[in-house]
């Protein structure tokens, strides 16, 4: 049968299997290959909270979705066109999201009676014809195939069967005309000490590729050309790693040592992992006994002159809240990162959500304002972390960086920045009594930033005491005077307001006025951008703005909002930014809120927008 | 740690801040503050290298009165904050002032873990067996049946035994002293200062207002009958040499020196953990005297030293970090 090749702009594929099937690894390899080929990419790992739920169960299904394209893309795609299902449970869980007419590739050997029953199938969908009308199904006996491929290797069957994911990957590489070398090289490095494992996986990968090539059932391959990205050197990066790199870059620019104090929590732990691997950069990491000790140690380190950072997720922020108030009243520079996940309480630990914005804004006792910046894409986590650090050090304040589970684990091609081009970072460090002062005034402020001097222990003549009790403006001694407290309350807010001078002009995607503005923040940015582009293509007067700084909001935002008849705010929460926008600008904005633990779908946002466009 | 550096010798006055002390008149905290201010200059260290960190409670106001760097933080969190200070700058002499509620109740978790790590901090726990600043509720070291505003029918909680908790947490230095035993207090502080690693000193401190005379038997006229001063390598005698302690199996017994000689007595060895565990259980004992002094002291690498060492070793092995290189690591590709 002749094979035909079709050229596509983009494709969305999803790998799904048991937690032990190596789906994250498979997706990661496909992603790196797509990046090396030069596609624009966006990924969405989706894994369960349980490390190994019972094999074959619905709860144990782990998945990885990737969109790759010859054009610029902003999301991992709404619904996949190709689903690789390594067992019945994976098919059961992910079939509802596959597009009609989509392709299903299954490991037929996993469709045993036991697995089918476990997944809730009464009959075998591969045999009962239920899939045939709506999908193109490729049922491949992968167990048999890899066993055959690894014949003569003298490896236990269990080990051989573990290469099934590479076989499936091989089929996909054939389907999308991808090179095998990057994956083969990766396998050789990964299993350098176990060459037989590397060999078995390589055989499985090649067998999958050759199966696609020779098997009569596959008739079409797809070609997705290189994307035209701005020139530069690129790497594939996820949000957590980008965040960690941003912290390191800021410390280097500020000429400070990093102190990272934290407690393991999903999905923020990878930041701790990255930081702890950078001893050669002098990074000190402290895995504390709890979330509170994590932030308390960073407050101590900030007092002693380090660039102090902690990262956590919502439940951890709840525990750190009192200490954040201390960082605010002591006016110490601190970076706190919240990799948001589904809540409330333990909620959905491995899924994404944007529901901690109001916690960041208001979740502390007393009037306790803090600057808040939210990263928009995985790669933007680097720049957002850098900017947060710059503001913390310049203004002497803790700063919140909000990312989320999707940004943290999702990845995209990232143009590696040149360190020289990053803005300089100023600190308020002093090493002697300022001119004209007889005794040290620890709360004497810089007029432009309201930053107070950073006098660190060890410096002679600047001994002073700070703490959680109200301070006298100027000298910084404990002060209970009513008027001083009022003044300090105003000053702490004013300091945050002053950060507005750091915010770059707001970028509008589309015209500066029109019928509808889609206003996003954080991880919903990509969806908002995709939906906007689609609506624009259809001729609607729609524009998109993503806000990175949320406290304070950019000074030009008010005028921008007024130029649109309607403002639509998509968020993965019950409507949080919308409350701030409505309160701040008295604008009758409307929300689009879906809280499924997954990124919003651009297609559904488009539908929602059309309701308002008439 | 006692580097002799060229600078003008300091006096007590150098360590007195300009802030008015606001403890209740007659509070035991005054005596501890005075001893601290008197002792610091004798360590031969620059004033700017001392940091006092506290949590919340009466005792935690302490840093405001020391003319050093100081941090009055939030309830229970002095230890992790001090840990951050020490890790960021290990050249500092970091002192934590805390109370029985601050360290053992709300901050109990940090107490365990800070000691376990052997973080090089000097911890002064002012134990008055009551919550003072909140006006008199029972604390985690209050005796059972204590009548307070929060326990009008008597408290039901069994108290913690701080030195036993410290030993259970793998502390490398555990001592006890009493606010009114001024020179003893000074010598314990000096020992703590010279100890490399986490030093824990429990200071029995009288709260005149809410728990007066809690330690009367250790500070009153017959105090020597009720207190034994532990001295490394010396037999355990007390009551002006008239009584001693002898081990009967694992059980310590008070014996009369009329019947026994010094050779019969238990000899204190502050490096012996088994002995330290036995001694720590004499706390508030109905028969045995209250032990004060260094219960346990051993040397062990500190957490902060090892953090620095790990960084040095990594730099030796890998060379100093190159950020440009790190940014460009992994699979990269060039778009023209």
pLDDT band at A1 (very low <50, low <70, confident <90, very high): low
Which position has the token pair 């045995």?
B288
A214 Cβ partners below 8 Å, 6+ apart? none
> For all residues of chain B together, what is the average pLDDT?
96
- Tell me if B247 is assigned to some domain: no
* Interface contact A32, partner B, CB < 8 A: yes
pLDDT tens digits, one per residue of A249-291: 999 999 999 999 999 999 999 999 999 999 999 999 999 999 9
* Interface contact B53, partner A, CB < 8 A: yes
Does residue B4 carry a pLDDT above 60?
no
Amino acid B3: pLDDT: 52
Measure the CA–CA gap between A141 and A466, rounded to whole angstroms.
Answer: 69
- Tell me if B244 is assigned to some domain: no
Q: Which residues of chain A from 269 to 288 reach within 8 Å of chain B, CB to CB?
A: 278-282, 284, 286, 288
pLDDT tens digits, one per residue of A501-515: 999 999 999 999 999
Could you tell me what percent of chain B has a pLDDT over 70? Answer: 98
Amino acid B5: pLDDT: 56
Do A572 and A594 form a contact (C-beta atoms < 8 A)?
yes
Taking residues B186-190, report their average pLDDT. Answer: 97
Does residue A346 carry a pLDDT above 90?
yes
Rounded to a whole number of angstroms, the distance between the first and last alpha carbons of chain A is 49
- Tell me if B182 is assigned to some domain: yes
Determine the 3-state secondary structure of A345 from DSSP: coil
Considering only the beta carbons, identify the residue of B72, B76, B89 that sits closest to A304. B89
Amino acid A522: pLDDT: 98
Does residue B234 carry a pLDDT above 80?
yes
What is the gyration radius of the CA atoms in chain B, in angstroms?
Answer: 22
Amino acid A217: pLDDT: 81
A538 Cβ partners below 8 Å, 6+ apart? none
CATH of the domain at B32: 3.40.50.970
List strand residue ranges (DSSP E) for B88-160, in order. Answer: 93-99, 122-127
Do A539 and A487 form a contact (C-beta atoms < 8 A)?
no
Measure the CA–CA gap between A270 and B315, rounded to whole angstroms.
Answer: 22
Measure the CA–CA gap between A340 and A313, rounded to whole angstroms.
Answer: 5
CA geometry: angle A453, A454, A460, nearest 5 deg: 100
pLDDT band at A329 (very low <50, low <70, confident <90, very high): very high
Structure tokens at A283: 């990074």
List strand residue ranges (DSSP E) for A318-397, in order. Answer: 334-340, 372-374
Map out the domains of chain A with their CATH numbers: 4-224 (3.40.920.10), 236-421 (3.40.50.970), 514-613 (3.40.50.920)
pLDDT band at A47 (very low <50, low <70, confident <90, very high): confident
* Interface contact B306, partner A, CB < 8 A: no
B322 Cβ partners below 8 Å, 6+ apart? none
Q: Do B323 and A278 touch (CB under 8 A)?
A: no
Domain count, chain B: 1
Closest residue of chain A to B62, computed from CA coordinates: A465
Domain span including residue B99: 12-220+301-308
Determine the 3-state secondary structure of B150 from DSSP: coil
- Per-residue CA distances from B219 to B24, B193, B237 (Å): 19, 25, 18
Question: Sign of the C-alpha dihedral, residues A329, A331, A332, A333?
Answer: positive
Exposed, middle or buried: residue A64 (CB in 10 Å: 0-12, 13-18, 19+)? buried
- Tell me if B46 is assigned to some domain: yes
From chain B, pick out residues whose CB is under 8 angstroms from the CB of A35.
Answer: 331, 333
From chain A, pick out residues whose CB is under 8 angstroms from the CB of B76.
Answer: 292
Amino acid A558: pLDDT: 98
Rounded to a whole number of angstroms, the distance between the first and last alpha carbons of chain B is 58
Structure tokens at A57: 């169960």
CA B30, chain centre distance (Å): 17
DSSP class of residue B137 equals: B
Structure tokens at A79: 């619904």
Q: Do B333 and A36 touch (CB under 8 A)?
A: yes
What is the signed CA dihedral for B153, B156, B160, B161, rounded to 10 degrees?
Answer: 70
- Tell me if B65 is assigned to some domain: yes
Considering only the beta carbons, identify the residue of A32, A465, A469 that sits closest to B70. A465
pLDDT band at B1 (very low <50, low <70, confident <90, very high): very low
Measure the CA–CA gap between A556 and A236, rounded to whole angstroms.
Answer: 33
pLDDT band at A135 (very low <50, low <70, confident <90, very high): very high
CA B20, chain centre distance (Å): 25
Measure the CA–CA gap between A358 and A360, rounded to whole angstroms.
Answer: 5
Measure the CA–CA gap between B297 and B200, rounded to whole angstroms.
Answer: 10
* Other C-beta atoms lying within 10 Å of the C-beta of residue A561: 18
Measure the CA–CA gap between A488 and A500, rounded to whole angstroms.
Answer: 20
pLDDT band at A48 (very low <50, low <70, confident <90, very high): confident
Measure the CA–CA gap between B187 and B201, rounded to whole angstroms.
Answer: 11
Could you tell me what percent of chain A has a pLDDT over 90? Answer: 94
Closest residue of chain A to B114, computed from CA coordinates: A289
Q: Quick one: angle between helices A195-214 and A142-149, nearest 10?
A: 120
From chain A, pick out residues whose CB is under 8 angstroms from the CB of B77.
Answer: 292-293, 296, 323
pLDDT tens digits, one per residue of A172-206: 999 999 999 999 999 999 999 999 999 999 999 99
Q: Which residues of chain B from 91 to 130 reach within 8 Å of chain A, CB to CB?
A: 91-92, 109-110, 112-113
Measure the CA–CA gap between A172 and A208, rounded to whole angstroms.
Answer: 8
Closest residue of chain B to A442, computed from CA coordinates: B69
Q: Do A464 and B83 touch (CB under 8 A)?
A: no
From chain A, pick out residues whose CB is under 8 angstroms from the CB of B21.
Answer: none
Structure tokens at B313: 């070793």
What residues does A567 pair with on adjacent strands?
A517
Query: If we measure between CA atoms, which residue out of A210, A215, A190 comes closest to residue A32?
Result: A190
Does residue B101 carry a pLDDT above 90?
yes
Query: If we measure between CA atoms, which residue out of A213, A209, A191 comes closest to residue A5?
Result: A213
Could you tell me what percent of chain A has a pLDDT over 70? Answer: 100
Amino acid B90: pLDDT: 98
What is the gyration radius of the CA atoms in chain A, in angstroms?
Answer: 27
- Tell me if B7 is assigned to some domain: no
- Tell me if B197 is assigned to some domain: yes
> For all residues of chain A together, what is the average pLDDT?
96
pLDDT tens digits, one per residue of A424-436: 999 999 999 998 8
- Per-residue CA distances from A320 to A337, A346, A403, B84 (Å): 11, 16, 17, 15
Measure the CA–CA gap between A302 and A309, rounded to whole angstroms.
Answer: 9
pLDDT tens digits, one per residue of A97-134: 999 999 999 999 999 999 999 999 999 999 999 998 89
Determine the 3-state secondary structure of B119 from DSSP: coil
- Tell me if B75 is assigned to some domain: yes
Structure tokens at A506: 């707001």
């Amino acid at each position: 049968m002749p094979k035909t090749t079709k050229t596509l702009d983009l494709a969305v594929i999803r790998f799904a299997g048991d937690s032990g099937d190596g789906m994250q690894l498979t997706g990661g390899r496909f992603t790196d290959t797509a990046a090396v080929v030069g596609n624009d990419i966006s990924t969405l790992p989706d894994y369960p909270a349980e490390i190994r739920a019972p094999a074959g169960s619905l709860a144990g299904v782990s998945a990885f979705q990737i969109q790759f394209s010859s054009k610029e893309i902003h999301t991992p795609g709404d619904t996949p066109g190709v689903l690789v299902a390594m067992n019945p449970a994976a098919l059961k869980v992910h079939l509802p999201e596959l597009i009609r007419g989509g392709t299903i590739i299954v490991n037929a050997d996993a469709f045993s009676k036991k697995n089918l029953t476990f997944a809730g199938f009464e009959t075998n969908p591969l045999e009962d014809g239920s899939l045939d009308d709506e999908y193109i199904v490729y049922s491949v006996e992968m167990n048999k195939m890899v066993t055959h491929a690894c014949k003569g290797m003298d490896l236990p069957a269990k080990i051989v069967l573990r290469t099934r994911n590479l076989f499936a990957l091989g089929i996909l590489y054939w389907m999308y005309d991808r090179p095998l070398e990057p994956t083969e090289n990766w396998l050789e490095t990964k299993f350098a000490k176990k060459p037989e494992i590397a060999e078995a996986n390589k055989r499985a990968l090649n067998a999958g590729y050759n199966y696609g090539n020779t098997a009569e059932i596959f008739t079409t391959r797809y070609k997705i050309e290189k994307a035209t990205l701005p020139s530069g050197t690129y790497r594939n990066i996820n949000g957590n790693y980008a965040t960690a790199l941003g912290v390191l870059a800021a410390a280097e620019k500020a000429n400070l040592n990093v102190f990272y104090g934290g407690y393991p929590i999903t999905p923020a732990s990878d930041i701790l992992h990255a930081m702890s691997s950078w001893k050669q950069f002098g990074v000190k990491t402290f895995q504390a006994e709890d979330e509170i000790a994590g932030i308390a140690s960073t407050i101590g380190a900030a007092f002693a002159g380090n660039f102090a950072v902690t990262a956590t997720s919502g439940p951890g922020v709840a525990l750190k809240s009192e200490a954040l108030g201390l960082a605010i009243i002591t006016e110490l520079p601190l970076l706190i990162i919240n990799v948001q996940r589904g809540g409330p309480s333990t909620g959905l630990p491995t899924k994404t959500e944007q529901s901690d914005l109001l916690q960041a804004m208001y979740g502390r006792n007393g009037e306790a304002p803090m600057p808040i910046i939210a990263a928009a894409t995985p790669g933007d986590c680097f720049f957002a972390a850098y900017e947060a650090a710059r503001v913390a050090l310049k203004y002497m304040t803790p700063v919140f960086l909000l990312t989320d589970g999707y940004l943290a684990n999702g990845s995209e091609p990232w143009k590696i920045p040149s360190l020289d081009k990053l803005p300089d970072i100023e600190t308020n460090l002093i090493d002697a009594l300022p001119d004209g002062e007889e005794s040290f005034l620890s709360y004497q402020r810089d007029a432009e930033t309201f930053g107070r001097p950073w006098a660190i222990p060890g410096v002679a003549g600047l001994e002073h005491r700070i703490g959680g009790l109200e301070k006298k403006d100027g000298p910084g001694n404990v002060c209970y005077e009513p008027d001083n407290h009022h003044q300090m309350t105003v000053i702490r807010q004013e300091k945050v307001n002053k950060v507005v001078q750091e915010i770059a002009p707001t970028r509008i995607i589309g015209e500066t006025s029109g019928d509808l503005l889609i206003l996003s923040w954080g991880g919903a940015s990509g969806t908002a951008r995709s939906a906007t582009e689609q609506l624009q293509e259809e001729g609607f007067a729609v524009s998109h703005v993503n806000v990175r700084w949320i406290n304070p909001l950019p000074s030009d935002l008010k005028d921008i909002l007024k130029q649109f008849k309607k403002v639509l705010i998509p968020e993965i929460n019950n409507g949080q930014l919308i409350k701030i926008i409505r309160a701040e600008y008295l604008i009758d904005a409307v929300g689009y809120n879906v809280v499924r633990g997954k990124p919003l779908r651009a297609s559904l946002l488009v539908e929602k927008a059309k309701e308002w466009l008439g | 740690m006692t580097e002799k550096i060229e600078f003008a010798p300091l006096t007590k006055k150098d360590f007195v801040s300009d802030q008015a002390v606001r403890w209740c008149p007659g509070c035991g905290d005054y005596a501890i503050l005075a001893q601290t201010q008197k002792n610091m200059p004798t360590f031969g260290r620059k004033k700017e290298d001392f940091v006092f960190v506290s949590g919340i409670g009466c005792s935690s106001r302490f840093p405001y009165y020391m003319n050093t760097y100081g941090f009055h933080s939030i309830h229970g969190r002095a230890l992790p904050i001090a840990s951050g200070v020490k890790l960021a700058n290990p050249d500092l002499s970091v002192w934590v002032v805390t109370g029985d509620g601050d360290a053992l109740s709300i901050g109990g978790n940090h107490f365990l873990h800070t000691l376990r790590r052997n973080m090089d901090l000097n911890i002064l726990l002012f134990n008055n067996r009551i919550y003072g600043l909140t006006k008199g509720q029972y604390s985690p070291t209050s005796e059972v049946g204590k009548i307070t505003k929060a326990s009008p029918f008597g408290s039901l909680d069994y108290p913690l035994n701080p030195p036993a908790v410290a030993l259970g947490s793998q502390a490398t230095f555990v001592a006890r002293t009493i606010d009114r035993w001024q020179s003893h207090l000074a010598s314990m502080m000096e020992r703590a200062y010279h100890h490399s690693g986490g030093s824990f000193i429990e200071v029995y401190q009288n709260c005149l207002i809410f728990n007066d005379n809690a330690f009367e038997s250790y500070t009153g006229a017959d105090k020597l009958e009720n207190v034994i001063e532990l001295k490394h390598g010396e037999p355990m005698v007390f009551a002006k040499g008239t009584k001693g302690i002898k081990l009967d199996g694992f059980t310590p017994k008070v014996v009369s020196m009329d019947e026994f000689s010094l050779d019969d007595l238990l000899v204190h060895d502050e490096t012996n953990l088994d002995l330290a565990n036995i001694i720590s259980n004499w706390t508030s004992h109905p028969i045995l005297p209250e032990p004060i002094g260094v219960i346990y002291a051993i040397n062990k690498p500190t957490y902060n030293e090892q953090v620095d060492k790990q960084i040095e070793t990594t730099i030796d092995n890998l060379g100093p970090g190159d950020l440009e290189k790190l940014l460009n690591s992994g699979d990269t590709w060039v778009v023209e």
